[in-house]
Amino acid sequence: MNTPETLHTEVTETASAIAEMEIRGAATIADAAARALGAQAEASTAATPEEFRAELRAAARVLHDTRPTAVSLPNALRYVLLGMEGTTVEELQNSIARRVAAFCGQLERAQDDLGRFGGNRLRDGDTIMTHCHSTDVIACVRAAVEDGKELTAYVRETRPRNQGHITARELTELGVDVTLIVDNAARHYLNDVDHVLVGADSIAADGSVINKIGTSGLAVNARDMGTQVMVAAQTIKLHPATMTGHTVEIEERDATEVVADDVRAEIGDIRINNPAFDVTPPRYVDAIVTERGQFPPESIVILMRELFGERVTNPWEEL
Ligand code: RUB
């Protein structure tokens, strides 16, 4: 039955953890969503294949509607649902289990491969600057460090949620010499920086990079100062609908992330905007590093066509 009562708790809990950002970052969200679909399939008591399919689609819808910007989420749901095959409930269940395992395995391998390519771009003694927290970026730094390179990092704290603190901790654990700075201090230090290194939530067909709010200003400043901008993004971040003219929705989050209600009341009658992401045009990006190698942003559409074809379906939308 296609009702919320049949949703597995792992689906509802994963969905609320994504919405509340306890699970965050594009790759981690994709992994969690795929696993939640796996849990739904495994625990299903559907009496017929039709019921099973409807149940899986309902679960995918709940997961899909949590956050709108990271395309890794719909890409993960699509991958799992399109692999559903069989004529009995048991066969369908097994096909989902296989597909989830394949997806999560690929995600991990892709990050390792991407890390090696990104790591090759970094030289011993380089200084990087990061924004937000990206597991794809960390993979690049890890690969460089494993190659024996010593790195220094300026880590932007990343208002309003300070994901830079996670990056600072993880880079320190890797042995990188870390300096945490407020976002506004970036330009002050960019002269000392060899690479700005950021992740992506989505990459559009024209090579635009959608990532944490503040990325585009950082990239423009970096270009102005002659500093390389590298985007570390597995191909699961490629946004297939942008090939047919769709734009990427930018998530607007709660005003309380910017300022607490009591402080807001003291300030007076103001509007607060809190966009979570922004769009960096391709001309400010030197390379997009994926598990398939590095690409100039303008050529990413070729890879996108190869991976997704021209037509993209949203199987969770069928009721
Ligand atoms: C996270 C963010 C990250 C990308 C890439 O935003 O912008 O740079 O998601 O992360 P939020 P990864 O904290 O709002 O989810 O490389 O881990 O996929």
SS3 call for 252:
strand
Q: Which stretches within the chain are classed as H helix?
A: 9-19, 26-43, 49-64, 72-82, 89-121, 135-146, 164-173, 186-189, 215-225, 261-267, 300-308
pLDDT of residue 309: 86
At 12-34, the pLDDT tens digits run 999 999 999 999 999 999 999 99
Give backbone dihedrals phi and psi of 289, rounded to 5 degrees, phi first. Answer: -100, 120
pLDDT of residue 311: 78
pLDDT of residue 3: 52
pLDDT in single tens digits along all 319 residues of the chain: 445 568 999 999 999 999 999 999 999 999 999 999 999 999 999 999 999 999 999 999 999 999 999 999 999 999 999 999 999 999 999 999 999 999 999 999 999 999 999 999 999 999 999 999 999 999 999 999 999 999 999 999 999 999 999 999 999 999 999 999 999 999 999 999 999 999 999 999 999 999 999 999 999 999 999 999 999 999 999 999 999 999 999 999 999 999 999 999 999 999 999 999 999 999 999 999 999 999 999 999 999 999 998 778 999 998 7
**What whole-number distance in Å separates Cα of residue 255 and Cα of residue 291?**
36
Torsion of CA 99, 12, 278, 197, to 10 degrees: -60
Residue 27 Cα to ligand 1 midpoint, Å, equals 7
Question: By the 8 A CB rule, do 82 and 56 touch?
Answer: no
112-308 and 9-110+313-317 share a CATH fold: no
So where are the chain's domains? 9-110+313-317, 112-308
Tokens of 99: 């597909």
Marked catalytic residue, from 113, 132, 136, 286: 132
Residue 211 Cα to ligand 1 midpoint, Å, equals 7
Q: Is 201 a catalytic residue?
A: yes
Tokens of 58: 């309902």
pLDDT of residue 106: 97
Tokens of 286: 């030197």
Q: Which residues line ligand 1 (CB under 6 A)?
A: 24-28, 70, 132, 134-136, 163, 199-201, 211-212, 276
Pocket test for ligand 1, best of 163, 210, 216 (most atoms within 8 A of CB): 163
Which strand ranges, in their side-by-side order, compose the sheet holding 127-130?
177-181, 152-156, 127-130, 195-198, 228-232, 287-290, 293-295
| Global model pTM greater than 0.85 | yes
Which strand ranges, in their side-by-side order, compose the sheet holding 202-203?
202-203, 209-212, 277-280
Q: Which atom of ligand 1 is nearest to the CA of 232?
A: 16
Q: Whose CA is nearest to atom 1 of ligand 1?
A: 25
Nearest to 280 by CA among 235, 228, 229: 229
Pairing of strands 209-212, 195-198: unpaired
Domain 9-110+313-317 has CATH 3.20.20.10: no
Question: By the 8 A CB rule, do 26 and 68 touch?
Answer: no
Residue 92 Cα to ligand 1 midpoint, Å, equals 32
Q: Do you find a cis peptide bond into 4, omega within 30 degrees of 0?
A: no
Q: Is 112 a catalytic residue?
A: no
Q: Which CATH superfamily is domain 112-308 in?
A: Translation initiation factor eif-2b; domain 2 (3.40.50.10470)
pLDDT of residue 2: 45
pLDDT of residue 4: 59
pLDDT of residue 56: 97
Residue 198 Cα to ligand 1 midpoint, Å, equals 9
